Amino acid sequence: MLRKRILAPLMALGLLTGAASVALPMASASAAECATAWNSATAYTGGAVVSHSGQNWTARWWTQNETPGTAAVWTSQGSCGSGGGTPCTYPNWVAGQWYTAGSIVRYTDGNHYRAEHDNPGYDPTISTWYWEPYDCGGGNPNPNPGFVVSESVFNQMFPSRNSFYSYSGLTSAMSAYPAFAKTGSDTIRKQEAAAFLANVNHETGGLVHIVEQNTANYPHYCDRTQPYGCPAGQAAYYGRGPIQLSWNFNYKAAGDALGLNLLQDPWRVERESAVAWKTAIWYWMTQNGPGTMTPHSAMVNSRGFGETIRSINGALECNGGNPAQVQSRVNAYQRFTGLLGVTPGGNLSC
């Protein structure tokens, strides 16, 4: 369906001074034993092994004052030390900084991630091939602990879903907006989760379709009046993802908010599960669309599921525009709230 959701635009090695010790290569410590702790004042030669933040690290070449876990010179040898877990003292993730496989970082959402592959500072919650959740010291490795929809219930909701729409992709994406499905009472949180998933269910045919099915619409989503134009091509901004993000200005706005260049590369929304989910949550949390409030505000302020429909498709469905489509969304919402064990509340239609 051709829809124009009007969104607000969003926008070397040198001489050493002072005394410094030099550490020579040593045999790697066993898995249960930590090597000598890393010291920022010590110069290490290639092959030297140190411990830092509960792991042993091996230097690839000469280094000094480069913290293990944040510099390419260090390679992780895995956890060390006795039982009881290690505290979460890993460095903060820095966008654009090089990380080697084994590096552990603390992301902006407070959770920890370990690099599975070398990467130039990709976002751990988006580039899930490069990063994996890391449990440091017995904590919960789930990137979004406490989500009111368990994976088993999610699978019940979407028995025929495309594997692209993964549960892990959704929970990873939620870190971009921590208030999503975590605001208010347990009932409110479950109602919001059900409302979001009911709408994406409708938009994607039960999380089956990744892209808009009517290819004839594809060239229509380029608004040439925008100063940035359509650098990815006239027909590049068709609907993608759980809420079928479309139009060049929407890709620009979502990309700016999420730190992704979706205007140049809108195809990321159909290539990467977490990116697709993030665009949907971005819309849900920040955009009024053709309505008067964000879908998130509608649910946490008990304005009713009907207001979320208005914010997504407005007059195309509401006020008699397409009552069958509205009812389809309502049916899914009632089914999902039933699975979550909460009442759907009032004002279901628009």
Q: Catalytic residue numbers?
A: 203
- Distance, in Å, from the CA atom of 237 to the CA atom of 219, rounded to the nearest integer, reads 8
Q: Are 304 and 284 in contact (CB under 8 A)?
A: no
Tokens matching residue 133: 């959740």
- Distance, in Å, from the CA atom of 190 to the CA atom of 194, rounded to the nearest integer, reads 6
C-alpha distances in Å from residue 222, one per residue of 28, 217, 255, 309: 58, 10, 16, 24
- Distance, in Å, from the CA atom of 278 to the CA atom of 71, rounded to the nearest integer, reads 29
Tokens matching residue 338: 């039933």
Tokens matching residue 106: 């603390």
Q: Are 88 and 106 in contact (CB under 8 A)?
A: yes
How distant is the alpha carbon of residue 29 from its chain centre?
Answer: 36
- The Cβ of residue 11 has, within 10 Å, a number of other Cβ atoms equal to 8
Containing H/E element for 279?
helix 273-286
Q: Are 70 and 94 in contact (CB under 8 A)?
A: yes
Tokens matching residue 324: 């069958």
Tokens matching residue 87: 């505290």
Instruction: Output phi, psi for 295, to 5 deg.
Output: -60, -35
